[in-house]
Structures are given as C-alpha cells and as structure tokens.
Amino acid sequence: MDFRSAAKLGSLISKEYAEEFIKLLLKYKDISASEAASRLNQHIKTAQDFLDGLTELSIVKKEEVYERKRPYYRYTLIKDKISLEIDLTTLHNTGDESDRLKKTIREKVNSGANFTTSGSNPIISSVSVWTGEERDRKERKINLTTSQGRFVYHLPFPNAKFLSISEIMTKAGIEGSLTSEILDIVDMLENFGIIETR
C-alpha cells in the first residue's frame, strides 16, 4: 500500500462511526448509502463518502442498480481482512542525487538571512530568515544538523566563485552517505532565497 492510500485508510477507519459501517457491510450482502445512513442515524452524504472511500481502496465494490428507472449504488464488502504495510523507501527518490550534486551554488547577495555559528567550531547551528511582508513579517529559524551546519559554513560568499554541492561537501569533510540531508537543506535555502544557483 502506498503512503497516500494508507493515509486515506487511516482517516476513514479513525471515524467514530467506521466500526458500525464495517459491521453493516459484514451483515448485508449489499447495502445502499441511504440504507446504511438510516440504520446508523447518519447523514446520507456521510455514508456515501465513507463507502466511496472504501471503494477507492478496493475494500468495497459498488454496483449501479436501477429502481423505477432511477439509478443508485449498492455496496458490497469484498475483503474480510485489511493489512497495512507501507514501503517507506518509496517516499524518497535517490535516483537523481548524483546529477543534483553537480549544481553550483553560492550565498545570495542581500538575502537577509542571519547565520548563527556554533561556538568556535566551523559550523552554522541555525539560519534565520524573515518571511511575509510589513506587519505579517515573521522570523523563520531553521535548525541545522551537524553536517548541514558544516556545509552551510563552507558556502561560497556572495560574489565568490560558484561551487558545486559535491565540492562544498568535500571542502566541509561531509561523507557521501549524508547526501540526502545536504540536498534537503540546499532545497530549503534555495526556496527561501538564501542561495543562488547556476
């Protein structure tokens, strides 16, 4: 099951009425949304949304039927067990990391960012930036991991020569196994306009 489907399932079965709907589906060969709603004293839209949600997850099958030429749907439970297993590695695509490491970057002129150093160590502990405009301006503080802090400390200054991400990592003594978290902070710094790329 992918993460999105698992999240949808979790949202559905966490409803206070979920267990009662499932019990109905187990008791009846098939049932309509209006029948389920009336038995559980729920709004028909609530019943329809819940049953359609289970249908999207292939837990329930819905079939269109006609009564006095008017179509409506009947729902049938097609699974008597639900297993929740999520491959979390699908959330992180490492395929393009080697290409992204070639991107050249440096600190942007007048970015407005404030870099806080970590004592006498060559590490930046956090980066603060202002977001919003006028009275809605808020300070956003980004706390860095040790490797991210070393990376940001070695960022080329504005007007200095652009360096690739991999060159900065080498300069900062950062292992290749930490590439993902370095690329993550690069994305964030770029989104906040703290660095520029070429």
Cα three-residue angle 174-178-183, rounded to 5 degrees: 100
Residue that has been written with the tokens 């559980």 in this structure: 40
Q: At which residue do the structure tokens 């060559």 appear?
A: 122
Which residue ranges of the chain lie beneath pLDDT 70? Answer: 93-95
pLDDT value of position 94 = 62
H helices of 14-134, where? 18-27, 33-40, 44-56, 97-100
pTM: 0.65
The values of phi and psi at residue 59, to 5°, are: -95, -30
pLDDT in tens, 145-168: 999 999 999 999 999 999 999 999
- CATH 1.10.10.10 in the chain, residue ranges: 3-77
User: What integer pLDDT is reported at residue 169 of this predicted model?
Assistant: 96
- Residue 137: what pLDDT? 82
The CA distance from 38 to 53, in Å, is 19
3-state secondary structure 73-90: EEEEECCCCCCCCCCHHH
Q: What CATH code is assigned to 3-77? A: 1.10.10.10
Judge contact between 29 and 71, C-beta under 8 A.
Answer: no
